[in-house]
Structure 1
Amino acid sequence: MTFLIIFLFLATIVTRILPAFFVTRLSLPEWLVTYLNYIPYAALGVLIFPGILTAVERPVYGILGAIFAAVLSFLKIPLFFIVLGSIVFVYLIML
């Protein structure tokens, strides 16, 4: 069991820590840096979208809440109020 924990620790260190040392020495093209900056947003969307469809009784309520949150974000509303507003919006349409 201890051998397995040590092996998994080493595998994690090699794949997470060592690339950080090598990437700092690389000079990446600007288009690649721009592309890599969008990965967190794509991953966040993949994590959030299933919750939108399953958090409430009917998926349409979640979709309407997401649309409401998107409209608030386009209006440059602070994030706290976007979250709070979309929660209240979904609650009201579910009544």
Structure 2
Amino acid sequence: MSIVVYIAVMAVTTYLIRVIPFAAVRGKIKSRFINSVLYYIPFAVLSAMTFPAIFYATGDAVSSTVGTVIALVMAYFNLPLIVVALSSSAGAFITMLIMGLV
């Protein structure tokens, strides 16, 4: 199949996923439960996509865990994203250097 067909199918799929909720739900959602569920969906999806990638990024579970712990601790203290990202990457890299994997 042509790559154009693949792109067209994905474009239609993405469009439908975004349009169907607007077409199906008319008016404001009044349920506090539904609103709270909808509020947390982006965070849940982002976490589900990110965490597996974190642990497979370096190819070593120990260095990935060290980088993740550093990132979580620094994020807990509300440090800027660039500081968290660079520090966790450096922590994972230094761990790999110490273990002799680089």
Identity of matched residues, %? 27
Query: What is the aligned-residue RMSD (CA, Å)?
Result: 2.8
Offset from partner CA, 1:12-45 (integer Å, 9 cap, x none)? 5444224225546132322321222111111111
- 2:40 is aligned to 38
Match of 2:79 in 1: 77
Q: Classify the secondary structure of the residue corresponding to 2:79.
A: coil
Instruction: Pick the aligned partner of 2:50 from 40, 48, 51.
Output: 48
Q: TM-score, normalised by structure 1?
A: 0.74
Alignment TM-score, normalising by the size of structure 2: 0.70
Partners of 1:81 and 1:32 in 2: CA distance: 35
The whole-number CA distance in structure 2 between the counterparts of 1:66 and 1:47 is 15
Question: Contact (CA 8 Å) 2:66, 2:95: kept in 1 or not?
Answer: no
Q: Equivalents in 2 of 1:19, 1:84: separation in Å?
A: 38
Question: Contact 2:74/2:84 (CA < 8 Å) preserved in 1?
Answer: yes
**Cross-structure match for 2:59:** 57
Deviates more, 1:32-41 or 1:8-17: 8-17
Q: Which runs of 4+ in 1 moved over 4 A?
A: 8-15
Q: Are 1:65 and 1:87, in contact at CA under 8 Å, matched by a contact in 2?
A: yes
Q: Which residue of 2 aligns with 1:26?
A: 28
Relative distance call for 1:10 and 1:81 in structure 2 (3 A) is closer
The total of aligned residue pairs comes to 92
In structure 2, the gaps of 5 or more residues are 98-102
Asked if structure 2 preserves the Cα contact closer than 8 Å seen for 1:56 and 1:62, the reply is: yes
Q: Which runs of 5+ in 1 are unaligned?
A: none
